[in-house]
């Protein structure tokens, strides 16, 4: 069974540019989560999808962040325009609808905003 | 908001030594999780705890759900070089789908 995949693995952009991160969850997992870890800090929840619906987006930092999950399969997280403080590792995780505690994480996208 | 204090922040130990780390919170959780992240990878679930006082093992790893429900502990016995990584605790409550993570304990094992 393929795990959660994320693309790109690394991204270096300049302040003011736009970046789109992609996450492909494990096939059949209805729950999809985005998290972010700023260097040395905790992994912070950003938002949660159940299928294509946003269940909880309370962790999204501001309106420069837009997450979508059209069709309930893969998800994208767009940052526009990027700021320096957006740098960090963005993790995606997915879980089966009945096993929410077993969240399987992707390898993350390392974003550096210069 | 809710925060988890995880300690120590980092540890350098000799191969074969035992390791202890803990996580404390000002809030009560009914689920505690321990994850390990290796370089270039995402966190992988090691142990899940669901009941206060519960002690659960996974090989050389043992984790406990504190009686107060505000803390959890992870022990690694007889460490080996592949134990290297960052260990995260996470607390959550059934039905919220959202976990609060600690800041991580970076473990380095010297052969």
Residues in B touching A48 (Cβ below 8 Å) = 97-98
What residues of chain A, 65 to 94, have a C-beta less than 8 Å from chain B? 91, 93
Write the pLDDT tens digit of every residue in B78-104: 999 999 999 999 998 876 677 899 999
CB pairs A-B closer than 8 Å: 55
Residues across chain A: 114
CB count within 10 Å of CB B1 equals 7
Give the pLDDT band (50/70/90) at residue A100: low
Q: How far is CA A7 from the centre of its chain?
A: 10
Give the pLDDT band (50/70/90) at residue A99: low
CB count within 10 Å of CB A31 equals 20
Chain B nearest-CA distance from A92, in A, is 9
Query: What mean pLDDT do residues A37-64 have?
Result: 92
Query: What mean pLDDT do residues A44-72 have?
Result: 93
Q: Which residues does chain B have with pLDDT short of 70?
A: 1, 95-96
* pLDDT number for residue B3: 82
Q: Which residue of B has its CA nearest to A3?
A: B42
Cα–Cα distance for residue pair A21/A112, rounded to 1 Å = 13
Q: How far is CA A104 from the centre of its chain?
A: 13
* pLDDT number for residue A101: 66
Contact B5, B102 (CB under 8 A): yes
List the single best residue of B58, B98, B106 to mutate versus A (max A Cβ within 10 A). Answer: B98
Q: Which residue of B has its CA nearest to A6?
A: B42
Please judge whether A108 and B42 are an interchain contact, meaning their C-beta atoms are less than 8 angstroms apart: yes
B9 conformational bin, left if phi > 0, alpha if psi -120 to 50, beta if neither = alpha
* pLDDT number for residue A98: 61
Please judge whether B48 and A33 are an interchain contact, meaning their C-beta atoms are less than 8 angstroms apart: no
More confident of the two residues B100 and A99: B100
Give the pLDDT band (50/70/90) at residue A29: very high
Q: Which residue of B has its CA nearest to A37?
A: B103
């Amino acid at each position: 069974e393929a795990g959660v995949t994320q693309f790109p693995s690394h991204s270096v952009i300049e302040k003011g540019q736009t970046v789109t991160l992609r996450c492909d969850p494990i096939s059949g997992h209805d729950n999809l989560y985005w998290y972010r870890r700023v260097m040395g800090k905790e992994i912070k929840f950003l938002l949660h999808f159940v299928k294509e619906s946003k269940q909880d987006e309370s962790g999204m930092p501001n309106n420069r962040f837009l997450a979508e999950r059209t069709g309930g399969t893969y998800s994208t997280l767009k940052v526009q325009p990027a700021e320096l403080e957006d740098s960090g590792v963005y993790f995606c995780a997915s879980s089966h609808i009945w096993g929410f505690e077993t969240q399987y994480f992707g390898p993350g996208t390392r974003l550096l905003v210069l | 908001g809710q925060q988890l204090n995880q300690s120590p922040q980092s540890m350098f130990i000799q191969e074969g030594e035992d390791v202890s780390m803990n996580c404390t919170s000002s809030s009560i959780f009914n689920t505690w999780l321990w994850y390990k992240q290796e370089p270039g990878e995402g966190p992988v679930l090691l142990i899940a705890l669901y009941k206060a006082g519960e002690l659960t093992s996974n090989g050389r790893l043992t984790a406990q759900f504190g009686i107060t429900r505000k803390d959890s502990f992870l022990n690694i016995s007889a460490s080996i070089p592949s134990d290297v990584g960052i260990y995260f605790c996470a607390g959550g409550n059934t039905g919220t789908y959202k976990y609060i993570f600690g800041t991580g304990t970076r473990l380095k094992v010297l052969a």
